[in-house]
Structures are given as structure tokens and as C-alpha cells.
Amino acid sequence: MSSFIRELPKVELHLHIEGTLEPEMVFYLAKRNGITLDYADESALRAAYQFNDLQSFLNIYYQGMQVLQTEQDFFDLTWAYLARSHQENVRHVEIFFDPQAHTERGVAFADVVNGISGALAKAKQEWGLTSYLIMSFLRHLSQEAAFETLQQAKPFKSFITGVGLDSAERGNPPTKFTQVFAVAAQQGYRLVAHAGEEGPASYIRDALDILKVERIDHGVAAIHDAPLMARLAQERIPLTVCPLSNLVLKVVDDMSEHPMLALLHAGVCVTVNADDPAYFGGYMNANYQALQEGLGASDADLLQLALNSVEACWLPESEKATLVERIRAHGQQYLA
Ligand code: HPA
Ligand SMILES: [Zn+2]
């Protein structure tokens, strides 16, 4: 790992907190909560992390998170992620959580949000690590279920900045959630959606034009649609791209075929993110490193990607300016 990458100030915009659940914590929480697991030990669990596509990952992902039961569990999970991020010089994060994956199992919405928010507040206090929380609807469930979740979120509105859309993409188009996104916007949530990960470029268009999202999560399918790519570049619509995720879930066959640099050099506001790092082999630094070693990204490319993340994030302009200054100073130190 180069010191350029390690010391680069970073912003993370596409991270599922449940996707940071490391096998060690699965076993620790299972024991604490009196849950028996189907795996003998941590390495047996890790060995089950063999994915062919998004669905094969989601099956393991929803299974693993069943050890998350109490507010303290959500606090500990989030705290471990933030400590790791702080170590990797991540300065600001905008993270997803999947409330329906927990309330469906009988966990209280309040326990989920209070646990996560408590850790976010502590990281801000201790390290100045800033954050926003994004509530993601599961797209394999109905729009009605999403409406119920939006209702449950009402008392916690001050802790939740945005609404997103994740889980199984194919067959669950953005248009399935048109009304609930419109109501969420009226309530003051900012909007994002996963689109164009496994699904077609048309899902990216529909997320923009029908759901009215301001950022696309993944969006790599845009590489197959030249007019869409031109529009993304022209309007500087951010894509929160996740290189190691795309490799592990076989969205690309090899990192050398990843569209990140083609999108970057076409002027699209692409950003680097970890998605579900416990499952995909690495956190932020590992994703930057994969782009450098596997795709041949230069330090100047990585610097631009980090600047794009600041442009794409939801911090107030004054805080963005501070981050831009730090990243540029880092560039001057290394690239002069
Ligand atoms: O990458 C993802 N795609 C869709 N749903 C998800 N839920 C967690 N990670 C993902
Ligand atoms: Zn994701």
C-alpha cells in the first residue's frame, strides 16, 4: 500500500454498515446473544464467501446480519467501521443502513438507528469524523413495505439525511418505488438509488428522471450507453462506484476491465467506495489500491477521484472547501 493512498484524505459515500460485519464480530455477537451459527469457526464462515453474482452475496449478507439484535450491537458494528475508517484517513462518510432487514426479524427501528447514530456522534466528537445516514429500502420488497418504513422513520428524521434503494436489482426497477421516493422528497430527505450495478443503463435513467435521485450508487452500466455517459458528465451527476465489489460480484471479470478510468476521463463524477468491505476483501484504501494496481490508475487519477467524492458529498460548502484544500495539499506534496 503506497503512502500516497494511505495518507490521501478520503470521503466514503457508498457503504452498507451491515456489510462491515466481519466474521470475528459475527461470532462475538452470536455468543453475546446466545445464537448458534451454522459455521464451526470464523475461517469456515469466511470460506463461504464465494459469490457468483449479487444474489449469491445478498443471501449470505442477510444471513450474517441476524446476529445484530440490540442497540449495543449496532453501536459496536458502527464503531468498528468508524475506527477502521479513521485509521485509513477517511474524513467524512455517508453510510447506508437497511432497516427492513432488521425490523422484519423483530428488531426495533429505534434500536437500529440509536445504535448507529450513537457511534457516529462519538466519532465526530473524538476524531472530527463527520457523517450522514441514509436509510435504504429493500427493492425486492414492495413499495408498500417501503412506505411503512418511511413512516417508522418519522421520529428519527433528524438522524437520517437521505433515502436510498438497494438489494436485488434485476426485476426490481426504480419505477417500482416512484411514489415512495416522491413522498420522501416532500418530507425533506435527499435521494439516491443503486442502479446500473447488475441492471441495465435504463435503470440509471429512470432513477434520475423518475425517482429524481441526485446520485447513482454503482452506475457502471453507463459505460454501455454513450448518450447517458455524456449526460452524466455534462450534469456532473455523481456515481458512487465500488471497484472490489464489482470484481467479487463478477460485474467485471477482471480489474483491468473496470470502467472507472474510462468514466473518469470522460468527465463523469465517479467516486471510490467500499460497499460491503467485510465481504469484498477491503475497505477504502484497498479499493484505491485495486484501481492503481489492477487498472493502472495514476496518483493524479486517484487524487481526482478523492476530489470528486468531496464534490459529490452533502457537507456544507465551507466544510467541502476545507477538505478540497487538504486533498490538494496532499497532491502538491506528492505530485510536485
Ligand atoms: O452492492 C449492493 N447492491 C445491492 N444491494 C446491496 N446491499 C448491500 N450491498 C449491496
Ligand atoms: Zn451498495
Q: Which residue's CA is the closest to the ligand 1 atom numbered 6?
A: 167
pLDDT, tens digit (0-9, with 9 covering 90-100), for 5-19: 999 999 999 999 999
Q: How is residue 65 written as a grid cell?
A: 446480519
CA angle, corner 274, sides to 303 and 65, nearest 5?
A: 165
| 139 in contact with ligand 1, CB cutoff 6 A | no
Ligand 1 pocket: which of 15, 134, 275 to mutate (most atoms <8 Å of CB)?
A: 275
Q: How is residue 192 written as a grid cell?
A: 439516491
- Annotated ligand binding at 206? The verdict is no
- Percent of the chain residues topping a pLDDT of 90: 99
- Annotated ligand binding at 73? The verdict is no
pTM score, whole prediction: 0.98
For the CA of 16, the nearest atom of ligand 1:
8
pLDDT, tens digit (0-9, with 9 covering 90-100), for 242-270: 999 999 999 999 999 999 999 999 999 99
pLDDT reported for residue 12? 99
Contact between 130 and 166 (Cβ < 8 Å): no
Q: If you average pLDDT over residues 157-167, what whole number do you get? A: 98
Q: If you average pLDDT over residues 29-37, what whole number do you get? A: 97
Tell me how far the alpha carbon of residue 315 lies from the centroid of ligand 1, in angstroms: 24
| Three-class SS of 257-277 | HCCHHHHHHCCCCEEECCECH
pLDDT, tens digit (0-9, with 9 covering 90-100), for 319-333: 999 999 999 999 999
| 54 in contact with ligand 1, CB cutoff 6 A | yes
| Three-class SS of the chain | CCHHHHHCCEEECCEEHHHHCCHHHHHHHHHHCCCCCCCCCHHHHHHCCCCCCHHHHHHHHHHHHHHCCCHHHHHHHHHHHHHHHHHCCEEEEEEEECHHHHHCCCCCHHHHHHHHHHHHHHHHHHHCCEEEEEEEEECCCCHHHHHHHHHHHHHHHHHCCEEEEECCCCCCCHHHHHHHHHHHHHCCCEEEEEECCCCCHHHHHHHHHCCCCCEEEECHHHHHCHHHHHHHHHHCCCEEECHHHHHHCCCCCCHHHCCHHHHHHCCCCEEECCECHHHHCCCHHHHHHHHHHHHCCCHHHHHHHHHHHHHHCCCCHHHHHHHHHHHHHHHHHHHC
Tell me how far the alpha carbon of residue 195 lies from the centroid of ligand 2, in angstroms: 10
| 194 in contact with ligand 1, CB cutoff 6 A | yes
Ligand 1 pocket: which of 141, 166, 198 to mutate (most atoms <8 Å of CB)?
A: 166
Looking at the domain that runs over 3-22+48-335, which CATH code has it been given?
3.20.20.140
- Annotated ligand binding at 275? The verdict is yes
| 16 in contact with ligand 1, CB cutoff 6 A | yes
Backbone angles phi, psi at 25, to 5 degrees: -75, -30
Other CB atoms within 10 A of residue 254 CB: 9
Is 197 an annotated catalytic residue?
A: yes
Q: If you average pLDDT over residues 24-52, what whole number do you get? A: 97
Q: If you average pLDDT over residues 154-181, what whole number do you get? A: 98
Contact between 271 and 238 (Cβ < 8 Å): yes
- Given a cut of 90, is residue 57 above it in pLDDT? yes
Ligand number nearest to the C-alpha of 53: 1
Positive or negative torsion for Cα 23, 117, 160, 131: negative
| 301 in contact with ligand 1, CB cutoff 6 A | no
Give the active site residue among 12, 88, 197, 198: 197
Tell me how far the alpha carbon of residue 130 lies from the centroid of ligand 2, in angstroms: 20
Report the first-to-last Cα separation within the chain, whole angstroms.
Answer: 20
d(CA 150, CA 183): 9
pLDDT reported for residue 336? 79
| Annotated domain spans of the chain | 3-22+48-335
Within 13 Å and on the Cβ side, how many CA atoms surround 4? 19
Contact between 137 and 163 (Cβ < 8 Å): yes
pLDDT, tens digit (0-9, with 9 covering 90-100), for 208-254: 999 999 999 999 999 999 999 999 999 999 999 999 999 999 999 99
pLDDT reported for residue 92? 99
For the CA of 245, the nearest atom of ligand 1:
1
Tell me how far the alpha carbon of residue 149 lies from the centroid of ligand 2, in angstroms: 19
Name the nearest CA neighbour of 259 among 291, 227, 217, 282.
291
